[in-house]
Amino acid sequence: MTTRDLVLIALFAAIIVFLGIIPPITLGFVPVPITAQSMGVMLAGCILGAKRGALAYVLVILMVAVGLPVLSGGRGGLAVLAGPTAGYIAGWVVGTYVTGFIAERLVNENQGGARQMAGFFIASIVGGIGVVYLLGNLWLAFITGIGLDKAFLASLAFIPGDLIKAGIATLAARAILVGYPLLPQRA
């Protein structure tokens, strides 16, 4: 791990925290809010890659664990990491890794723009939505006792917004790849 890698990890942790400034949207039927921070999974994975992207989220979770109010809505502390949203928060790390892993294999600078964007979009959907939902819903069903089927049904409300986030992350990752071709070099 180089100094450059550490700087990029810290930078993306700051971006993820900044995304938390956007207030969460709470839904009455599920104790999990809609937040912009979940877009960071897609951005960090597609732009930084698997290892550095996941480490950016690990850094954010460490800040939450020590009580810093860095999550959307000014949340922080160990209680958040044991509550209904804990599965989604853990899913951010795994989802970022999976997003980056897929993006590293599907996208390279020698491809055309449409193919690069398709690769980034697929990576964002699989890691940023699929993996995060899977871990989040498993934990939500366990901690609240609502049942896995109801947890997955409730998560359908998040799909439209997360597809928009995947589109934004795709455009951003493609712009970074074109504008800063040395940035995606993997750790």
Give the CATH number of the domain where residue 78 resides.
1.10.1760.20
Q: How confident is the model at residue 185 (pLDDT cuts 50, 70, 90)?
A: low
Mean predicted confidence (pLDDT) in 55-60? 96
C-alpha pair distances (Å), 42 with each of 50, 59, 102: 11, 16, 11
Give the pair of three-digit tokens for residue 98.
Answer: 């999976």
Residue 58 belongs to a domain:
yes
Residue 81 belongs to a domain:
yes
Residue 187 belongs to a domain:
no
Mean predicted confidence (pLDDT) in 143-151? 89
Domain limits for position 162: 3-179
Residue 148 belongs to a domain:
yes
Residue 105 belongs to a domain:
yes
Asked if residue 45 lies in contact with residue 57, where contact means CB atoms within 8 angstroms, the answer is no
Whole-number pLDDT of residue 157? 86
Residue 109 belongs to a domain:
yes
Name the nearest CA neighbour of 169 among 95, 105, 110: 95
Residue 117 belongs to a domain:
yes
Whole-model pTM: value is 0.90
φ, ψ of residue 14 to 5 degrees: the values are -65, -40
89 phi-psi bin (left φ>0, alpha ψ -120 to 50, beta other): alpha
Q: How confident is the model at residue 99 (pLDDT cuts 50, 70, 90)?
A: very high
- The structural domain count of the chain equals 1
Strand pairing of 25-27 and 30-34? antiparallel
Name the nearest CA neighbour of 116 among 179, 53, 51: 179
Residue 186 belongs to a domain:
no
Alpha-helical (H) ranges within the chain are 3-19, 39-48, 50-65, 86-106, 113-123, 132-144, 148-155, 159-179
Name the nearest CA neighbour of 119 among 74, 80, 79, 166: 166
**pLDDT higher than 60, residue 186:** no
C-alpha pair distances (Å), 129 with each of 1, 10, 11, 126, 166: 28, 23, 23, 6, 8
